[in-house]
Amino acid sequence: MKTQKRGLVMTIALTMALTVLLSMTALAATGRYDQQIQQTVNVKIHDAKKLQIVSSSVEDGIVTLTGTVDLYQDKLDAANKIKKVANVTGVRNDITVAGETVPDAQLEQKLAKKLAYDRVGYSDNAFNYVALGVKDGVVTLTGEVGSEPTATQAGTIASAVPNVLQVVNELQVKDQKATSSR
């Protein structure tokens, strides 16, 4: 009985030691490329005129972006650009969108006009119903559209408008087969 307990204790101790060793190895491997990542990210930020006021830090393969940009789309583009850097395991996008504060009603009016004019002449705009809400610079898109590219395009348009701080795209793609059979 004592031999079985001693064997069980040894197995547990060995398992715990192995787990600690593996986790330490994983941490060392993750942070191994931080300096190389930082250099590459600095070059990418420096080369992009829109990101001149953005800075970065790297810890364990995770890049944290801070600073300001003029458009929400620039914030999204910065994160997408950095995600493509070799050995980056994640991006923490703490960039803020700068600019003057515009009344929500004025921003909503501007966005509604841009969204309406974007789809003029397209054959799938008969299926589009986009509701627009603006609260403290945060734009929410809801409703139904005829295709996934149309939903993406609506979000992209909203992201590129000055004074938009964030875009929440909740557009649903309407099932065109169900619609055409009615």
Reported as a single tens digit per residue, the pLDDT across 156-177 is 999 999 999 999 999 998 875 4
Inform me whether the pLDDT recorded for 11 exceeds 50. yes
For residues 147 and 54, the model is more confident at 54
pLDDT recorded at residue 12: 76
Q: Is the per-residue pLDDT at 125 higher than 70?
A: no
Asked if 168 and 139 touch (Cβ cutoff 8 Å), the reply is yes
Q: Judge whether residue 9 has pLDDT over 80.
A: no
Q: Residue 68: beta bridge partners?
A: 96
Give pLDDT, residue 182: 38
**Angle at which helices 104-118 and 148-159 pack, to 10 degrees?**
140
Residues 161, 157: Cα–Cα separation, whole Å: 7
pLDDT digits (tens, 9 = 90+) for 91-117: 999 999 987 888 999 999 999 888 887
104-180 CATH? 3.30.70
* Chain position carrying tokens 């992209």: 156
State the chain's mean pLDDT as an integer: 83
Residue 127 confidence (pLDDT) above 60: no
**CA dist., res. 40 & res. 144, Å (int):** 41
Question: Phi and psi (nearest 5°) for 172?
Answer: -105, 145
Q: Domain limits of the chain?
A: 1-31, 33-97, 104-180
> What are the residue ranges of helices labelled H in 52-143?
72-83, 104-118
Nearest partner of 89 among 46, 44, 58, 45, judged by Cα: 58
| pLDDT score, position 129 | 81
The pLDDT assigned to 73 comes to 93
* pLDDT digit string, tens, across residues 47-85: 888 888 999 999 999 999 999 999 999 999 999 999 999
**Comparing C-alpha atoms, which of 70, 67, 69, 48 is closest to residue 56?**
67
Q: How far is CA 117 from CA 5, 57, 111, 175, in A?
A: 77, 41, 10, 24
- Specify the pLDDT at position 52: 86
Q: Does the pLDDT value for residue 118 go beyond 60? A: yes
- Look at residue 101 in the predicted model and tell me its pLDDT: 83
CATH class of the domain at 33-97: alpha beta
Q: What is the DSSP letter of 52?
A: T
Q: Is 43 left (phi over 0), alpha (psi -120 to 50) or beta?
A: alpha
The model's pTM is: 0.70
Q: What percent of the chain has pLDDT over 90?
A: 51
